[in-house]
Amino acid sequence: MIELQQAIAQSISEALLNLYSITVEPTAIALQPTRKEFAGTFTFVTFPYTKTIGKTPDLIGVELGKYLKENTGEVYSYNVVKGFLNLEIDDAIWANVFQQLANDPDFGYAKTKKSKVVVEYSSPNTNKPLHLGHLRNNFLGYSVAEILKANGHEVVKVNLVNDRGIHICKSMLAYQLFGHNETPESAGIKGDHLAGKYYVLFDKAYKSEIDELVSSGMEVDKAKKEAPLMRQAQEMLQRWEQGDAATIQLWQQMNGWVYAGFDETYKNIGVDFDKFYYESQTYLLGKSTVEEGLAKEVFFKKPDGSVWVNLADEGLDEKLVLRADGTSVYITQDLGTAELKYQDFNYDSSIYVIADEQNYHMQVLQAILKKLGKPYAGGIYHLSYGMVDLPSGKMKSREGTVVDADELVAEMIETAHKQTDELGKIEGFTEAEAQHLYHTLAMGALKYFLLKVDPKKRMLFNPEESISFIGNTGPFIQYTHARIAAILRKAAELNIPTDLQAYAGVKSFHETEREVITQLAAFPNVVQEAANLYAPSVIGQYAYELAKTYNRFYTEVSIFQETDPAALSFRVTLSRMVAQTIKRAMLLLGIEVPERM
């Protein structure tokens, strides 16, 4: 498709020179996709040339169109609409385009190797289970990694687990006080849910203490610091950093429960990682980086012993990098992790998939690394994404009102079960096949709904809308693939050939066939654009448009009633290419497509 567009641009450049003695480089010729209400594939806008040529936009369009029709092999017809020259491409060209893409085993994927990229995503806390916001993070990170791979990049997927800090100590302290040796087995719940239970219990008890202190006359801010539970949690954090055996043992026990729970969730939602980092292992390297910054006079100490960096020159403010008591803060361990990732992978770029609430934090991290003269500082990219809301409003994990990821996935599977049964789409399925289909549809609905929106936009998640088989949804695209798979099975039963020789004789196409070929030919550009923008939404919209275009073709053009063997072979091959491309596009989103429904 790129080659065809370049050829048309070259021809227009020659036409401008021969007709009007105007020199315009082909690279400066802008071609747009023709709007659907007009005939054509490419549109050339003539308005910018009216002053130089001294003719009306429509007249220039007619003269250029006539020249291209008479002097090129690509354009067989044209029309001019108010200065827009719409060019229709000869069917012989479309036949050649289709033959090329149909015989490319790696169609859509880059052929050359590019840079090394580390994509960091998920980044859970070990004091609570994953929630809906984590799902958007996981799906976005996984998809961006797969899209970058498809573009020829060497990609490493990493997960930085936040397994230390005051919030972890809150869960640990609450378990110590209220747990009575409860375990995931005795409670009958996943380990990450058990840790989350005690995080919520801590917050409730902590708030009660604050209320009691405030009622006795203490100011709220002071009460938050002086509450006994908070002081105990701070003391526990200090014991942890000092290596206290009992504290470390409790930490390891509870984290072990959580990791088992996370692994189960990751497997269920279909994401994976090449390497895990743990903040408990990176914060010490971060402390070393703080010492390095002090030696370089990038950081400075305040009278209380806390360490800071002044980022006023970068348009930011002063930032704490180490507390007065020697314990680290988030930025400390992030400095250590950035260093460790570079030591491990010597990457060209490092993508952080982190919610937009951390925009300032990421600006600070990159600014500090630049001041420290780190060679990888310029390669850091914050893939900032908007939060996910439900009709009930923003989620708050401390109050226990979080939308739990496991529960949401289970509800989506149940919804898929009901809708699939009602539509009668599991006839002849075994119980295992049916359960797999429900899971496939549920994850397709959930992932597609969260990924079809531009990452930067805050979004409202609607479970009922996402699972629909109609409209811009994952199940609609999945169903289109299953429909084509059924066509291909029937074609195989009829022994319809799909090799190049079988359909090479087709030289004229139905309008919808041209549209499908055009959509298919755009796939490599779409994959490249999605990588450049770090936007799976580009892939999602493409998959939806391709499915829509194919369904129009399927409605308007007969496949198996076609009497011309070459045309029949072509339509089956076209269907195969659409199915293959839908599958490739959806896999870049982490979504499976069923063979039967």
Structure tokens at 307: 């360490």
| Amino acid, res. 65 | G
Q: How far is CA 309 from CA 290, 317, 331, 498, in A?
A: 10, 8, 11, 66
Name the E strands within 331-392. 349-355, 380-385, 388-389
In terms of Cα–Cα distance, which of 572, 418, 592 is closest to 492?
572
Residue 419 has a pLDDT of: 87
C-beta separation of 88 from 78 below 8 A: yes
Q: Which residues, at least 6 apart from 366, have a Cβ–Cβ distance to it below 8 Å?
A: 377, 380, 382
Q: Residue 521 sits in a domain of what CATH number? A: 1.10.730.10
- Alpha carbon distance 243, 330 (integer Å): 19
Q: How far is CA 399 from CA 175, 203, 310, in A?
A: 17, 7, 35
- Alpha carbon distance 118, 129 (integer Å): 25
C-beta separation of 478 from 566 below 8 A: no
For residues 465 and 337, membership in a common domain is answered with no
Residue 382 has a pLDDT of: 97
Q: Residue 64 sits in a domain of what CATH number? A: 3.30.1360.70
- Angle of the 2-20 helix axis to the 57-71 helix axis, nearest 10: 110
Q: What are phi and psi of 79, to 5 degrees?
A: -145, 150
Q: Let me know if 106 is exposed, middle or buried by CB neighbors in 10 A (0-12, 13-18, 19+).
A: exposed
Residue 359 lies in a domain: yes
Q: How many CB atoms lie within 10 A of CB 29?
A: 17
Structure tokens at 143: 């998809």
Residue 111 has a pLDDT of: 84
The DSSP H or E segment spanning 154 is: strand 154-161
For residues 177 and 85, membership in a common domain is answered with no
Residue 400 has a pLDDT of: 46
Residue 481 has a pLDDT of: 98
Residue 446 has a pLDDT of: 95
Domain that residue 530 falls in? 411-589
| pLDDT tens-digit map of 563-586 | 999 999 999 999 999 999 999 999
| pLDDT tens-digit map of 134-185 | 999 999 999 999 999 999 999 999 999 999 889 999 999 999 999 999 999 9
Structure tokens at 590: 């982490």
For residues 350 and 420, membership in a common domain is answered with no
Residue 393 has a pLDDT of: 47
Q: Residue 214 sits in a domain of what CATH number? A: 3.40.50.620
Structural domains of the chain, count: 3
Q: How many CB atoms lie within 10 A of CB 378?
A: 12
C-beta separation of 195 from 126 below 8 A: yes
For residues 85 and 168, membership in a common domain is answered with no
In terms of Cα–Cα distance, which of 439, 397, 388, 380 is closest to 140?
388
- Alpha carbon distance 57, 305 (integer Å): 73
In terms of Cα–Cα distance, which of 364, 178, 138, 404 is closest to 271?
138
For residues 440 and 566, membership in a common domain is answered with yes
For residues 257 and 379, membership in a common domain is answered with yes
For residues 47 and 183, membership in a common domain is answered with no
Name the E strands within 27-148. 31-33, 42-45, 75-81, 84-89, 116-120
Residue 401 has a pLDDT of: 55
Give the total residue count for the chain: 597
Structure tokens at 562: 């076609």
Listed as ranges, residues in the chain with pLDDT below 70 are 1, 391-402
Is the whole model's pTM more than 0.75, yes or no? yes
C-beta separation of 423 from 434 below 8 A: no
For residues 85 and 126, membership in a common domain is answered with no
For residues 73 and 123, membership in a common domain is answered with no
H helix and E strand count, the chain:
23, 14
Q: How far is CA 236 from CA 171, 251, 304, 478, 587, in A?
A: 11, 10, 21, 51, 45
- Alpha carbon distance 139, 145 (integer Å): 10
Residue 304 lies in a domain: no
Q: How far is CA 348 from CA 140, 367, 478, in A?
A: 20, 18, 36
Share of the chain above pLDDT 70, in %: 98
For residues 65 and 156, membership in a common domain is answered with no
